[in-house]
Structure 1
Amino acid sequence: MLKFKSWFCVSAAWTSQPFDLDNYTTANCLCPATATGGKCQPGFYCPEGSIEPTPCPPGTYCNDSGLAEPSGECSPGYYCIRGATKPQNTDGITGNICPGGSYCDAGSGQPIPCPSGTYSNILALSDVSECLLCTAGFYCDLPGLTAPTNPCSEGFFCPPGQNVSKAIACPPGHYCPEGSAKPKLCDSGSWQDLGGQAECKPCVAGYYCDNRIGPVIDIELYPCPAGFYCPVGTQAATQYGCPPGTFSPNTRLKNINDCQLCLPGQYCASFGLSAPSGELPFTKSGLVPRSCFHYRRTAEGKGLGDGPAAVVGNHFKNFTHLQNVSTS
């Protein structure tokens, strides 16, 4: 039997280019039933010796009749399933534009899902590099997503491109609420010695937490210094100084009442003293110079202001003028 490219010959064909076929379908239906062959239709191709048309394979198209081979590859950004007649089919049967969450390089027979850790809500992508990295603070756990799955879990942070909710544990000295893209340094006045935490702890009384100089992880390294006191949440070493008229040689003071009254016969002239400023400088006439005025406080430790005062024994006495002071 003679054979010819671009044609197909069924049984009893008497020529290499039979014309007695009116119709052909992929169900091998011939009209009329006595037909001996015909020319390949669009969507099919017929290599030499074909006994029936071959549907254009996935990823290719056949845009004309009488083809001996496919016309070419399906266009980038589109996919061709089988029997496509155009490189950019959009009929949804033989092919279509590449949907969101996928990409279609040249010759694609099906959309290729964007990998986990990425997503895309854009049509007609043609390369995996066009898939978007999962948004920082979120994760993309499955292939083919058109949006991130969910925010990153609290206690963890998610840089771009993550595919699990607990990507990287929050380091000590930091906190990571839900949806964190990176660790957040604890605010001054707070600290954190554990990893994987969603919030920081208030600074312990007797200590200070100054995160401006680095994350506070071991609070024992930050005792309140002598001359100062540190209530809960203290942000800096010298935030709360023992007031004038008081001092403290001790560390880790928790409140103002832990400051000591200035010693008898001595004066404490400024804030934050770890020892008295010196002895009271009496004049020859027994007068106390105005420079020895001091801060007063009540028995409850509340400051009364910075008006003139001098130490007499363990007590505070107001002075509006220079006065004789007895040390007896």
Structure 2
Amino acid sequence: MANALSCLTLFCSLQIFLRGTSSFSPDCSTDCQTHCPINCRQGRYYTAGNCLECPTGFYCPGGQAAPRKCPLGTANELTAQADITACQVCPDGYLSLESGAGCRACPDGYRCDPHSGVRRSCGPGQYSPEGELECQECPEMYVCPDGRSRQRCLAGQQPNPSRTHCVTCAPGSFSTEDALLCQPCPAGHFCFDGLAVPPCPAGTFKPREGLQTPSSSSSCLPGIGLCLKCPAGYFCPAGASYPVPCQPGTYNPLQGQDEAADCRACPAGRACTQAGLVQPDAECLPGEVQVASSANSRFSIVSGKSVA
């Protein structure tokens, strides 16, 4: 080793003599490093008078003052490699480590260019699982708020159009955890905050899907959302889509009734000739009674004796 250092000093001193300079030229050390007096074999490189083993992530053709790094997108996990063919291309979805000593998967939430090593974050409404080089559109039924994670909305919500966050279902609609798109509230049911779809209770009704506001002539019972109070002249069983009219010969003066027995028989001396009456609609004169027609189930007033 002492002989090697003496040779190096002699080589530089000879350059000083030939150039006529009185001090070491800045180029002297460079030339000495390039033209190494010790010719290191393949798989090694020269530095500070020593031949060192080529490290991982590099290759060393021999006779060089520094190892050569593997190109981007390739890696070498072995030491003492002499040729660039030792730098193997990383698998699909992987990037080479900065050290060149191995490959790692493109991290989730990023798009990756294996040739340049550049990573860019996916935007909201997109996502990229680990090992994917490109950002993908957030799938249906999910939201992707940060370009990294996929999340399902809670019941009563659905993804917004760009799938960046969840929004609450509009009044008169609902969603469940199994079907996370808001749907119209079905007839005979009411939807509160988009979370549940119980049937309308007895004495109320809901006339059509997706009803958001009751008509001006209807009223809602307290605490049951969009179910409408059953009108007088009708009755509404639980889950009714429409009120059921009291039949001719009966009437109902009260709202919120829920069964046919709530329809009252027309009193003596009066007649109920139509369905859905709030009160009798005709008076019987002396000698007249109300009778039913089997053909059309309507009642009429005829002369004769009263029938029990």
The TM-score normalised by the length of structure 1 is 0.55
CA shift for structure 1 position 133: 0.6
Partner amino acid for 1:133? C
Structure 1 residues 213 and 242: alpha-carbon distance in aligned structure 2, compared to 1, 3 A threshold: farther
Structure 1 residues 308 and 199: alpha-carbon distance in aligned structure 2, compared to 1, 3 A threshold: closer
Match of 1:105 among 104, 113, 122: 113
Structure 1 residues 308 and 115: alpha-carbon distance in aligned structure 2, compared to 1, 3 A threshold: closer
Task: Look up the match of 2:95.
Answer: 79
- Alignment of 1:202 with 2:184, yes or no, is no
Distance 1:265 1:215 in 2: 44
Summarize deviations over 1:197-228 as a string: whole Å, max 9, x none: 53123323332212436236882483322321
Task: Look up the match of 1:230.
Answer: 236
Summarize deviations over 1:130-157 as a string: whole Å, max 9, x none: 3231431x45578656xx45x4333433
Name the Cα RMSD after superposition. Answer: 5.3
Task: Look up the match of 2:273.
Answer: 269
Matches within 5 A, 1:145-156: 148=150, 151-156=152-157
Task: Look up the match of 1:69.
Answer: none
Q: Is the 8 A contact 2:95 2:105 kept in 1?
A: yes
CA shift for structure 1 position 260: 2.1
Distance 1:263 1:10 in 2: 125
Task: Look up the match of 2:282.
Answer: 278
Q: Is the 8 A contact 1:103 1:124 kept in 2?
A: yes
Partner amino acid for 1:55? K
Structure 1 residues 293 and 75: alpha-carbon distance in aligned structure 2, compared to 1, 3 A threshold: same
Task: Look up the match of 1:325.
Answer: 305
Distance 2:210 2:167 in 1: 24
- Alignment of 1:293 with 2:292, yes or no, is yes
Q: Is the 8 A contact 1:269 1:294 kept in 2?
A: no
The unaligned stretches of length 5 or more in structure 1 are 3-8, 37-41, 67-73, 85-92, 296-304, 312-321
Q: Is the 8 A contact 2:185 2:210 kept in 1?
A: no
Distance 1:213 1:144 in 2: 35
Structure 1 residues 14 and 56: alpha-carbon distance in aligned structure 2, compared to 1, 3 A threshold: closer
Task: Look up the match of 2:67.
Answer: 53
Partner amino acid for 2:154? S
Distance 1:200 1:14 in 2: 82
Q: How many residues align?
A: 258
Q: Point out the structure with the larger helix share.
A: 2
Partner amino acid for 1:182? L
CA shift for structure 1 position 245: 1.0
Partner amino acid for 2:254? N
CA shift for structure 1 position 242: 0.3
Q: Is the 8 A contact 1:77 1:105 kept in 2?
A: no
Summarize deviations over 1:84-111 as a string: whole Å, max 9, x none: 6xxxxxxxx5447757765313644376
Task: Look up the match of 1:157.
Answer: 158
Summarize deviations over 1:220-250 as a string: whole Å, max 9, x none: 48332232112222212xx311012102243
Distance 1:278 1:133 in 2: 68
Partner amino acid for 1:104? C
The TM-score normalised by the length of structure 2 is 0.58
CA shift for structure 1 position 262: 1.5
Distance 2:148 2:251 in 1: 68
- Alignment of 1:132 with 2:173, yes or no, is no
Distance 1:119 1:51 in 2: 45
3-state SS, counterpart of residue 13 of structure 1: helix
CA shift for structure 1 position 13: 3.3
3-state SS, counterpart of residue 209 of structure 2: helix
Distance 2:178 2:297 in 1: 53
3-state SS, counterpart of residue 157 of structure 1: strand
Matches within 5 A, 1:151-190: 151-159=152-160, 167-190=166-189
